[in-house]
Amino acid sequence: MIQETDEITHVWQNSPAARVPPSELILVTDFDGTLAEIVPDPTMARARPEALEAIQELVTLLADVIVLSSRTPDQLESLMPISGVRLIGDSGLALPRHAQKEALDRFNADARRLLERIPGAWLEAKPASTAVHFRNTDMSGEQMLALLRPLLDGARLSAAIGRKVIEVHAPKAGKGSALAALLPAEDPAGVVCFGDDENDRSLFEYVSAVDLPHMAVGVWSPEAPADLFERCDLVVPGPVGATAVLQEIVEWARNAS
């Protein structure tokens, strides 16, 4: 159920995550579609000013604030100019092994040639993955995936439909795996995560199953798959709703400190 902003206070205050000390809580959030609205040109995306203000304050109140995004690390540094925020780009994917890197390079070369025939589609190569953007075309995700599937190298690459993007990377890798590798060293008392797209599914699955007080916040849009937020404790309408949750956590952390 999508919660409107006037219901968020009640949901947060009754969350197990709200019962741990702020200084022992970790917050993990996506960027596009969560802190920033999705726009036709990704280079024009900007975080909501109120979201940036909340993140800036939470850095001083929580154990750690992490932005875990499919953006490249360089892009994140430009988009999140806040000291103290941990920025993890490329969905936290490890650099691919030699065979996977070769498979990704072959895919990129073949896909670029294919996309030349599709006005509005373009390929973004990243260190450990590739994004095929098609927001400015009239194609559906299923159509684009069907077109790209013959270019995937069987066991070495997988592809998933996101919000007008196809994400291509090594199988069984993603945000959930990245956080699972990171969390033991952090040793928090609780964790909160935010996300809006298919590549956040593994994050929701991991956080909802950890043996810690937690809250998974889904950021709804009309483009989200119907079952994406099944593991979420709270679903809010777009970046406006995500910002309202961040502001609620700020108020809670201030009062608890």
Closest alpha carbon to 46 in 57, 38, 54:
38
What is the model's pLDDT at position 6? Answer: 66
Residue 116's CB is within 10 A of a number of other CB atoms, namely: 11
Closest alpha carbon to 23 in 187, 233, 248:
187
At position 28, the amino acid (one-letter code) is V
Closest alpha carbon to 215 in 229, 233, 238:
233
What is the model's pLDDT at position 113? Answer: 96
- Which CATH number do you get for residue 212? 3.40.50.1000
What is the model's pLDDT at position 174? Answer: 87
Residue 237 half-sphere exposure toward CB, CA atoms < 13 A: 6
Residue 81's CB is within 10 A of a number of other CB atoms, namely: 11
Looking at the structure, tell me whether residues 89 and 14 fall in a common domain. Answer: yes
Domain coverage including residue 29: 5-93+174-256
Closest alpha carbon to 28 in 56, 64, 80:
64
What is the model's pLDDT at position 48? Answer: 97
Looking at the structure, tell me whether residues 153 and 193 fall in a common domain. Answer: no
At position 228, the amino acid (one-letter code) is L
Looking at the structure, tell me whether residues 187 and 83 fall in a common domain. Answer: yes
Looking at the structure, tell me whether residues 79 and 122 fall in a common domain. Answer: no
What is the model's pLDDT at position 210? Answer: 95
Last residue of a domain, one of 169, 190, 205: 169
Which tokens belong to 12?
């947060």
Q: Are strands 64-68 and 25-29 parallel, antiparallel or unpaired?
A: parallel
- Which CATH number do you get for residue 120? 3.30.70.1020
CB 157 within 8 A of CB 169: yes
Looking at the structure, tell me whether residues 84 and 185 fall in a common domain. Answer: yes
Which tokens belong to 99?
């065979």
| Residues pairing with 215 in the sheet | 192
Last residue of a domain, one of 169, 184, 205: 169
Instruction: Name residue, tokens 């205050």.
Output: 13
At position 205, the amino acid (one-letter code) is E
| Mean pLDDT, each 10-residue run in order, the chain (257 residues) | 68 94 98 96 94 98 97 94 95 88 94 96 95 96 95 84 94 89 93 96 96 97 94 95 96 90
| CA gap 101, 236 in Å, rounded | 37
Looking at the structure, tell me whether residues 84 and 118 fall in a common domain. Answer: no
Looking at the structure, tell me whether residues 78 and 145 fall in a common domain. Answer: no
Helix (H) or strand (E) holding 195: strand 190-195
The 3-state DSSP class for residue 168 equals strand
Looking at the structure, tell me whether residues 184 and 66 fall in a common domain. Answer: yes
**pTM, entire model:** 0.91
Looking at the structure, tell me whether residues 246 and 195 fall in a common domain. Answer: yes
CB 66 within 8 A of CB 86: yes
What is the model's pLDDT at position 177? Answer: 92
Total count of domains within the chain: 2
Closest alpha carbon to 175 in 92, 249, 257:
92
Which tokens belong to 188?
């928090």
Looking at the structure, tell me whether residues 202 and 89 fall in a common domain. Answer: yes
| CA gap 93, 96 in Å, rounded | 8
Looking at the structure, tell me whether residues 178 and 241 fall in a common domain. Answer: yes
Last residue of a domain, one of 154, 169, 184: 169
What is the model's pLDDT at position 97? Answer: 85
The 3-state DSSP class for residue 68 equals strand
| CA gap 57, 82 in Å, rounded | 10
What is the model's pLDDT at position 170? Answer: 86
| CA gap 221, 163 in Å, rounded | 9
Looking at the structure, tell me whether residues 85 and 179 fall in a common domain. Answer: yes
